[in-house]
Amino acid sequence: MPTNEFSFPPAPPTPSGVRLAMTFDVAGDQVIAGGFGSNFCDNVEAGFEFGDVAGGILATDGSFTVAPTTSPLEAVSIKGTAPKGSGEPWSGSYTVSLGGAHLPACDANFSGTFTAISFPLVSGVYVGTGSTLAGPNGVPKAVPLTFEVTLQQGGTVTNPGNGAASNYFSSALLIGSIKVQGSPCFSSGATQSTPASAVFGNMVEARFLMDDGSTLIVSGPLTDVTESHIATGIVLVEGGKCGGFSNAIELRGLDRQS
């Protein structure tokens, strides 16, 4: 099934209301979901996420209820109806209860209805320019970098323990490769089965194993349904020749070229 972003109401110029972005997979009579959301009230933002998979059973009439793993700080339930055709709207209702200290009363419990906007699966070549972050007093010196990222959403789920392939195709998975010009540490890399790269709602998170042994984490939201721009920020570098905060990369965005 396609990636979907929910917004209720549609996002205004200034923060307000509830926003929820999710990815749904339907396999047989199982509905599997992942995503994140936020609510603004009293000039305070409260967030919640489906970091773990939420699941439910698809009834014969297409209706379902999904909820993530129980958390002491949040309870989220989504009821809806799966469309009969790919790309058609999803509709339903949501209830959210949030806990924790210093939470405004308007953030504690809220609910409403939604109609989902369908996003096509992410696919294409994205390019952008960035630079390594300079340390204190400009040492190490910032180095300009050029990125070319090839992404394709959708793939076969693998066992995270042994890497064995399953018979299950997930639209949440993301596969791809990356080329980087200007770095003294690495020049290319590719996504791996574990840990997996993924798209949750309109949020892209791609993890690339680079040719120096490091892991490059490129993440950010798709800004609209055209999927022409990924609003990245700081690219994290773990391990390898240049791992560490002083070698994090500032990348303002990636634009699709094809």
SS (H, E, C) 29-76: CEEEEEEEEEEEECCEEEEEECCCCEEEECCCCCEEEEECCCECCEEE
Model confidence band, residue 2 (pLDDT cutoffs 50, 70, 90): very low
**pTM here?**
0.76
pLDDT in the model for residue 14: 45
pLDDT in the model for residue 36: 73
Here the tokens at position 127 are 């390019």
**194 in Cβ contact with 200 (< 8 Å):** no
Model confidence band, residue 244 (pLDDT cutoffs 50, 70, 90): low
**136 in Cβ contact with 246 (< 8 Å):** no
- Which carries the bigger pLDDT value, residue 255 or residue 104? 255
Q: Check if 3-119 and 123-256 are the same fold.
A: yes
Please give the mean pLDDT across all residues of the chain: 78
**Which residue type sits at 151?**
L
CATH architecture of 3-119: Beta Barrel (2.40)
The residue ranges of every structural domain in the chain are: 3-119, 123-256
pLDDT digits (tens, 9 = 90+) for 83-104: 877 777 878 888 877 766 666 6
pLDDT in the model for residue 160: 60
pLDDT digits (tens, 9 = 90+) for 128-140: 999 987 665 555 6
DSSP letter, residue 101: T
Indicate whether 8 pLDDT > 70.
no
Query: What CATH number is given for 123-256 in this structure?
Result: 2.40.128
Q: How crowded is residue 238: how many other Cβ atoms within 10 Å of its Cβ?
A: 14
